[in-house]
Amino acid sequence: MMKKEFLIAGFGGQGVLSMGLFLAYGGIAEGKKVTYVPSYGAEMRGGTANCLVILSDRDISSPLISDPGIVVAMNQPSLAKFEPVVRPGGVLLINSSLAHRPAERQDITSYSIPAQEIANQVGLPRGANMVMLGALLEISKVLDFAASEDYLVKTFRGKYLNMMPLNLAAMEAGAQFIRNF
């Protein structure tokens, strides 16, 4: 049985909800059962944002997750708030560009990823989320990475199509960072 539970957290404007939506659309396209629960503050940018995503090959009884297997922390407040809830044996991805400490827990696997610096290197200054998404896909193996362009088109609904090559490059750079970790 395959069931992957994700919590992605950061602040508004970082693309946190888009990352979750990408996972949801990709899961649907690949015939998986999917739940996607976004949560965000009243602010459009700068407020808190997170989402819960479950991908499974069986029915999902509840969209809520108390101990996700994989957490993505895009900033320091998210790292502080959500590191404690990662399931023992789970994975924590830390955007070390904005979260300036490593994981404290010893019972999880953590990766500190300089997502902003990697995004800048590929020419996509606002692409830290795409770098982290590529890393997440490489670690979880939950979706077919080769189909990423199709899932991005669905996620952004035609917006930013001119940015597709850079988004894909940022995702590949994030996946490569994990391969070289």
**For 11-55, what is each residue's pLDDT tens digit?**
988 999 999 999 999 999 999 999 999 998 765 566 789 999 999
Pairwise CA distance, residues 175 & 181, whole Å: 10
Tell whether the model's pLDDT for residue 161 goes beyond 70.
yes
Position 40 scores a pLDDT of: 83
The answer to whether 82 and 17 are in contact (CB under 8 A) is no
CATH superfamily of the domain spanning 3-179: Pyruvate-ferredoxin oxidoreductase, PFOR, domain III (3.40.920.10)
Element (H, E) at 116: helix 115-121
pLDDT above 90 covers a percentage of the chain that reads 87
pLDDT tens digits, 49-60: 999 999 999 999
Closest C-alpha among 35, 48, 46 to residue 6: 35
Pairwise CA distance, residues 92 & 111, whole Å: 6
Tell whether the model's pLDDT for residue 154 goes beyond 70.
yes
Amino acid at 29: A
Pairwise CA distance, residues 29 & 31, whole Å: 6
